[in-house]
Every structure is written in structure tokens, then in C-alpha cells.
Chains A and B, each alone.
Chain A
Amino acid sequence: MLIELKDVNKTYNNGQPLHVLKGIDLSIERGEFVSIMGASGSGKSTLLNILGILDNYDTGEYWLDRKLIRDLSEKTAADYRNRMIGFVFQSFNLISFKTAVENVELPLYYQGVPRRKRHEMAMEYLEKLGLTAWASHFPNEMSGGQKQRVAIARALITRPQIILADEPTGALDSKTSVEVMQLLKRLNQEEGITIIVVTHESGVANETDKIIHIKDGIIGEIEENKAHTAWDANIIK
């Protein structure tokens, strides 16, 4: 079991207490391609933040690769994020004054990898994603799809066990959305990386093998979707 959540609760205390996660139990196996689906305000982003060790939870347990993730020091949390998790964001979150290759290098910089090695590896990953020609371009010179592929290369470069993608297609048109999802699927199948996608689009969720529905802070239905027919089924329903 790569990820295991037991009765995780999270309340935001901004003025009025807001109970966002109300006892989440969830387990995800190594090598799964999962989507978490829910409407906005359902708590899916909060769940993703907790899975990515970007945020703390109040009660319960979160085991990541048999380590209890709780009350970690900032340094350890940063180290886990750096080595175990790759992030892909809706708005790409590339650093605008760095070129594509520099953006991809950045996680390795924080690992202390020497510059030449870093550059080599970054170029290798850009090639893998078909971006060699764009290596020295700045983010604002690239299309949304290209930016997202750079972001994926950045997520991959530390060879993480998990990729957490928060609405990875949210800012893309439908054609590039399909391409990005195909890419994630390929990474899952060929590299065996566990991928968790958070989305509110059923079309996107349909590309994944398992769909976890979340509603009002509670896990609802968990659909097996090996045949990728969920979307059609939903439409028929």
C-alpha cells in the first residue's frame, strides 16, 4: 500500500470554523492511476494538499510509503516532497524568469545535484516529452500544452513515486487536454508511476483507471474504470 489514509479530518479556522474533510479513509496501491472527482468546495483540493504534504491535517493518520506523515519538520516535509512527490498544477506554476530547462532543473538544484548533471537530466526529460526545441524558451513563449509538459517534466525529474496533478487540464483546450491525459496514462503504464489526478471534469476522470468521488468532505463511490466507460455510463444515466 503506497498511500493509506485513516479517518483524516481537517478543519479550517478562518473566522468561522469550516470542517472540510470529515473522516477520509482511502488507500491507493503502488502503480495505480486514480482520479479524485468532486464539485468545487467538496474538499478535493484540501485532500490533495494533505496527500502532497503541503498542508497538515487535524486528526487521523496518513501513511505514505509506510511512513507516518504527521508533524514533520519543514525540512523533512520539503525533502519528502522533493524526493517522493511530483506536482502538476492547473496553472502550471513555472517560474517565469527561468527557461524551460531551468525550470525542469530546479528540483535537482534543491537536492544539490551538480549543475552539469542537472542540465543533462533535464534535457533528457524534455526530450522524452518532445520539448527539446523549446528548452531555452521562457514559459511565456510557449503554449499551454507545452507549459504543462514542461511542468510534468519538472515533476518527473526527481523520479518520484507519486505524481499529484491538480486539475492538470483546467487551463487547456480539449485537444491538449486529451494529449496531457494520454501522456499521464503513458507514464503510468510505462514507468509504473502512481498518478493521482484531481478534477471536476468527468471526461478527464474517465481516462483514469479508478475514480474516487468526494462530496462534502466524505469519500463517496469508488468506481473501477479499467474499461474507461464511466463517462459514457454517466451520460447514459
Chain B
Amino acid sequence: MKPLFDTDTFREILDSILRNRSRSLLTGFGVFWGVFMLMLLTGGGQGLKDLLVQNFEGFAQNTCIVATSTTTKPYKGFKKGRTWNLEYSDVDRLKAMVPELETVSPSVSLWGKSVTRDENTSSRAVVKGARADYANIETPEIKYGRWINDADNLQERKVCVIGKRVYEELFPEGGSPLGQRISIDGSYYTVIGVDWKDSGGISINGRASDAVTIPINQARRAYNLGNTVHLLCFTAKEGITMSDITPRVREIIARKHFIAPDDEQAMFLLNTQLIFGIVDNLFKGINFLIWLIGLGTLLAGVIGVSNIMMVSVKERTTEIGIRRAIGATPRQVLGQIISESIVLTLVAGMAGIVFSVVILAGVELAMTTDGVLKAAFQVPFGTAVLAALLLTVLGVLAGLMPALRAMQIKPVDAMRDE
């Protein structure tokens, strides 16, 4: 028994394909375009998702933020329209009563503060008071120095971490600003760190680059905030679904502050998990569409191949008849037609894969700034291999009907059509 695929067989196949170049080319184009679209869309979708996900980077995905507003419902003798604030004690209360919580971090923020280094250099910033564990909620990208630690907070040290823009405005000469002192509202703070985080899509109380973060206890004292906390951010422990515990959080805080339990505007709960869920679903939908369109185009291309092979078999009736008359078995004829179909599909498909990879590489090149890739658009190698396998299978399927038709050709047919 001869091997299924030797150079001889390959030459036979190539001969038949190359004999009708323009037709083979047009046929192959259908498959080429299908694979090209499929790969390009998959890569593009992946890249877009990457870009979008980057907006949430450095942000714990199971975070919930509590903010306050005036009440909209009367409750327990209080009129509606009352202003209320979260309290520092809410932190311990929540930690004690909701064991599923991992971190509960309070913060205060003071907007539109003027920050000066000397007479000539000043900047406007948001002064935020935070604890060390705030880093678990919104991860800072420390370029110089460090983040605020527990000792800073306990000893109410006059230290600060400045954001990227603030740094650039106060220290235009560049270099490490550590140990330098800057003035906010007449008090001097020593710079202990620079947060290089640029604007992600999500920012709590202003962008990280616009912020000057000081220990929360220092902020409370300097600005006479007493027990007031502006925001509470918390994360759930591993494996806990945030939506399962937010009602309890709402209930606990509402009871303490005499807020109607169903007053959603007075207490605003932002659950990032829900947002991530929406984005996730969005991309699931986009992916589904991509595969639907891509596979549809590919299928149309393959049906084209099948069709052309059918015409080709019909045209080659005499040739196939001759082959049969001089000793080709039906099996050999079947093998030849299917192989032709596979080669045509595979070559066109590979060209499609290569072309889309080149285009996506170009897109990646355009998205690269300073050697750092913003989003990965390239199709993964596994997907490409999968596509190649899929093409082989489709090639067999496309060749099957024409090949069966070719098998029906009797050697006597060689002598007809004269």
C-alpha cells in the first residue's frame, strides 16, 4: 500500500490545481477571506477588550464603594433632605458584623486645594486622606518612595504621596522628590512617595494623578473633620460574591444613621463587580458575533470550493474516465479530488491566517508607545492552529461531494463526448 501522501500524489494534485490558476485563485479567495475575517475579528475583539479592561487596571475587581448624599425619604422622625455622613466607627462596625469583608478602608477628600513648593511652583490638587490599606482598593504605581503605612497614620505624620501631574508641576526638573517639603493650606508635608498611576477609567474622588494623599488621621485633624468619613471602600474575601453582601452592608449602615433602608439615593453603593460583569457579558456577546460572522464567511468560502470542485469534476469527466481506464481505482480518484480540495482550502486558509497575523502585528506596532504594548491584538498561536485544523476538516467536507461524484464516473465515459 502506498503512503497516502507522497511527492507523486502531491505533484498530481498541484498539477490539477495549477492548471486552472485563475479559477483556483478565485475559489481560494473565498476561504482566504473567511479565515482572514475570522482571525482579524478575533484579534481585534481581544485587543479592544484588553483596552477596555485596562481602564479597570489596578482596581480590585470585587470592590464596593459607599458614598453619602442627602436623604430622599423621611425616616424615624427625620425629615427628608437631611445631610448625613459616614463615621470612622462604621469601619469597625462593618468589619465586626460582616465577616466576609476583607478590607474596609475609609477615606476623606478635600477638593481644589492649592499645593506649593516655593513661591514660584504651585499646583492644584485633591487632598485625600487615606490609610495604608487603601492600596488594596486602588493599587498605586509607586515610582519613588513608598505608600502611606500604618505608622504614618497612627503617629499622624505630616507626610504625603503625590500624584503624577502634581509631581510634574511641582518638580519640573524631574528626579526624586523624596524628603522635600510641600505646603498645603499653611502646613508642610514631607514627600514620601510618587504615585505614577495615570488615569484609569475608574477613579475614586478624582484622578490619582491629581491627588496628594496624606494619612487619614492627619487629614481629619488638620481639617477638623472629627469622626466624618467621606467614602468607605471595601473588598470581599476570595470567593465571595459582592452582590450577596451589599444588602447587609446597606442595612447595617442605614440602621446606625437612621436612613430608610430603601433609600437608595441617600446611600450610594457602587459595586464594581457588577460593572465588570457587564463588560464581560458585552464581550461575550461581541465574541459570539465575531465567530458567527467569521464562521459564516468561512462556510460560504468552503461551499464555494465545493461548488467549483463540482464543476471541475464535471469538466474533467473525460480525464477521470481515462485515468480509470488505465487503471486508477475509484479510491484513488476519490483521494485525488479530496486532496485537491484540502490543498486548495489549506493553502488559501494559511494565506488568510498569515495575512491577518501581519495586519494585527501592524496594529500592535501602532499601539506600542515607548516599547510598551498597550493591548494585545495578536491571535494566540493555539487559535491559529485550531483554525488550520478546522480548515483541513472543512477541506475534506468540501471535497466529499465532488469526490463522490467523480467516483461515479465510469471509464466508458472517457470515450464519450467526442
A interface vs B, CB < 8 Å? 45, 49, 52, 54-55, 74-75, 78-79, 81-83, 87, 89-91, 93-98, 106-107, 109-112, 115, 154, 158, 166
Contacts and interface: CB of A to CB of B under 8 A. Distances in A.
B415 A81 contact: no
Nearest to B327: A82
B322 A95 contact: yes
A45 B319 CA distance: 20
B327 to A, nearest CB: 3
Contacts of B319: 95-96
Given A54-B412, A81-B326, 8 more contacts: A74-B329, A75-B331, A82-B326, A93-B322, A95-B319, A106-B326, A110-B329, A166-B415
B8 interface: yes
B8 A115 contact: yes
9 contacts: A52-B325, A79-B329, A87-B325, A93-B321, A94-B322, A96-B319, A110-B326, A115-B7, A154-B326
A198 to B, nearest CB: 11
Interface string B302-334: 000000000000000011011111111111100
The 9 A-B pairs of least Cβ separation, nearest first, read A82-B327, A110-B327, A78-B329, A97-B19, A107-B326, A54-B411, A93-B322, A75-B329, A74-B330
A98 B326 contact: no
Provide the main secondary structure of the chain B interface: helix
Given A89-B414, A93-B322, A111 B327 contact: yes
B401 to A, nearest CB: 19
B326 A87 contact: yes
Interface string B281-302: 0000000000000000000000
B255 interface: no
Contact of B2 (A52, A83, A94, A112): A112
Given A54-B325, A75-B331, A49 B8 contact: no
B374 interface: no
B171 to A, nearest CB: 77
Contacts of B250: none
A94 B318 CA distance: 10
A91 B15 contact: no
Contacts of B15: 97-98
Contact of B418 (A83, A91, A95, A110): A91
Nearest to A89: B415
Contacts of A90: 415, 418
A207 to B, nearest CB: 22
Contact of A78 (B327, B412, B414): B327
A96 B318 CA distance: 11
Nearest to A49: B412
B410 interface: yes
Interface residues of B, number: 27
Contact of A81 (B325, B331, B332): B325
Contacts of B8: 109, 115
A83 B321 CA distance: 17
B412 A81 contact: no
B324 A78 contact: yes
A111 B2 CA distance: 10
A158 B418 CA distance: 26
Given A54-B411, A55-B412, A97-B15, A106 B331 contact: no
Contacts of A112: 2
A133 to B, nearest CB: 23
A52 B415 CA distance: 12
B16 to A, nearest CB: 8
Question: Residue among A87, A109, A166 with the most chain B CB within 10 A?
Answer: A109
Interface in B371-418: 410-412, 414-415, 418
Contacts of A110: 323, 326-329, 332
A110 B333 CA distance: 10
Interface string B170-182: 0000000000000
Contact of B414 (A79, A82, A93, A158): A93
B403 to A, nearest CB: 14
B109 to A, nearest CB: 80
Nearest to A81: B327
A63 to B, nearest CB: 21
B409 to A, nearest CB: 11
Nearest to B328: A110
Contacts of A89: 414-415
In this complex, the member of B19, B332, B412, B415 whose beta carbon has the largest number of chain A beta carbons within 10 angstroms is B415
A93 B411 contact: no
A107 B328 CA distance: 8
Nearest to B322: A93
B418 A81 contact: no
B410 A54 contact: yes
A90 B414 CA distance: 11
Contacts of B415: 45, 49, 89-91, 93, 166
Contacts of B2: 112
A41 to B, nearest CB: 15
Contacts of A78: 324, 327-330
Contacts of B328: 78, 110
Nearest to B325: A87
Contacts of A52: 325
Interface in B321-369: 321-332
A75 B330 contact: yes
B378 to A, nearest CB: 41
A196 B410 CA distance: 22
A95 B15 CA distance: 11
